Structure 1
């Protein structure tokens, strides 16, 4: 039977295990893919801990497979799926986990993988890069504007800095001092996080900040709002909608379409976006991969590769 890395109940790492599960069967609108690579994201361990994404309903069935994004090869398609056939190389968002030999993908959020794009890099795009892309598009800042990104050292933040740069924006990234070189390597002005970060941001952008992409929430979001004259240019993926609405901003509006996946893949191929995969693990070491992200040791993206 195919293997998958699962969690058996809500909780910590002690709930995780490598398990043998039946091969999934694609339902209407779904694609079954033989996984070649799966991206690892903070939302994975948060879901294991009991976090529910906005819009999540119902109870999760256990054991539940971890993971939200994969790249692989189509094995079969469900009813109503058009444009995909067995043997196609694809990448996209999973329906029910991706740390596995086989995964179900939603056809609406699955794209054909360009031949020049590796499975490893493609597997990092559906969550972090697509979220970053949606936010930059939502802000709609004209070329030459200054965008400030909080939490710039993480997966979404690093992608946002690069995507904004490719759109002609000047970028300022707030991240820990340890990530200074990384943030600057992405073409951004680094501002160290900490109690005085807002003052440092004002000094780094003496002409003002035109937009804020927040990935932290809390007091950082409130301080970031104070840097803007137009609060409609404040978006967050780090705080609830009602919290940012009180400050005059909004949550990042996720498009969740194949067109966005095509766009971020093109950015990678054109050199405007580097996924920065820094660590890879085999499926049998998926727990180590998730610990790397959960404990904050990852600099860049972590990927699980599935041998074939």
Structure 2
């Protein structure tokens, strides 16, 4: 039977296990994919703790970890057009990604360009797509200045690169240890920590045209002071603070068209996935700990198939 890495109950790492599960069967509008690579994200371990949309339905347990994959179509469900057995694809699974097989809804599945490695494609559906959605939501013109908090994290790294590809100047808040990395992306680095508001003023004395917040709380508040138009504040971290300040959450498109666009940016060399570590499926726990404990630099990927 196919293997998958799951959590058997809500809680800590002790709730995780590598198990055998029946191969899923695609329903209408779905494709069965033999997974080649799965991206690892903070949301994965947060879901194990019970994190999810307010009022959302509880997940059926055991639940397979993972929210982004790349692989090969093995079977297509009813009413599926545009995909065939053997197609190389990537997207957001509905039955988890840390597995040998998963189901992808075609609405959030894209064809993987041949130039794109599976390990790189598997990093795009969560962080890169979120970054792309946010940059388009802000709609800043070339030459504008965007402040990104959490610029050294997964979404922040992608957002910085995408904004720069569109000709937007970026000021990025990140830890001192990520200074060289953030600057290598073409951003002006501002160290996080006490006194942030004053340092932001020094980096952008004329203010900024938009804020893409990925930290929340007092960091978001400090960033918002540089805006003349509060509606140009968006957040992927703290909706309550954003609402109080006149901003809004990132509006996710969640469609294949966005996946096509971020893949195109990678192929064109404008967006680097920065895969820094890969793990086999039987070491998925180690991959998840690397992200959960905050030790990840760049993207962590679980390589599954041959």
Return the alpha-carbon distance in structure 1 between the equivalents of residues 224 and 205 of structure 2.
Answer: 16
Matches within 5 A, 1:85-234: 85-234=84-233
Which residue of 278, 281, 288 corresponds with 1:280?
A: 278
Residue equivalent to 2:69: 70
> Per-residue displacement from partner, 1:192-247 (whole Å, max 9, x unpaired)?
0001112111111223211000001111112211111100100000012x431221
Residue equivalent to 2:244: 246
Structure 1 SS opposite 2:92 = strand
Assess if the C-alpha contact under 8 Å between 1:38 and 1:303 holds in 2.
Answer: yes
Q: Which deviates further from its counterpart, 159-168 or 216-225?
A: 216-225
Structure 1 SS opposite 2:107 = strand
- Structure 1 position 33 matched with structure 2 position 43: no
Structure 2 SS opposite 1:17 = strand
Matches within 5 A, 1:52-63: 52-53=52-53, 57-63=56-62
- How far apart are residue 114 of structure 1 and its match? 0.3
How many residues align structurally? Answer: 306
Assess if the C-alpha contact under 8 Å between 2:220 and 2:241 holds in 1.
Answer: no
Residue equivalent to 1:294: 292
Would you identify which runs of 4 or more consecutive aligned residues in structure 1 move more than 3 Å? none
Return the alpha-carbon distance in structure 2 between the equivalents of residues 151 and 199 of structure 1.
Answer: 17
Return the alpha-carbon distance in structure 2 between the equivalents of residues 303 and 99 of structure 1.
Answer: 10
- How far apart are residue 2 of structure 1 and its match? 0.2
Assess if the C-alpha contact under 8 Å between 1:282 and 1:307 holds in 2.
Answer: no
Return the alpha-carbon distance in structure 2 between the equivalents of residues 53 and 155 of structure 1.
Answer: 21
Q: What are structure 2's unaligned runs of at least 5 residues?
A: none
Q: Which deviates further from its counterpart, 199-208 or 97-106?
A: 199-208
- How far apart are residue 307 of structure 1 and its match? 3.1
- Structure 1 position 5 matched with structure 2 position 5: yes
Return the alpha-carbon distance in structure 2 between the equivalents of residues 40 and 219 of structure 1.
Answer: 27
- How far apart are residue 57 of structure 1 and its match? 2.3
- How far apart are residue 287 of structure 1 and its match? 0.3
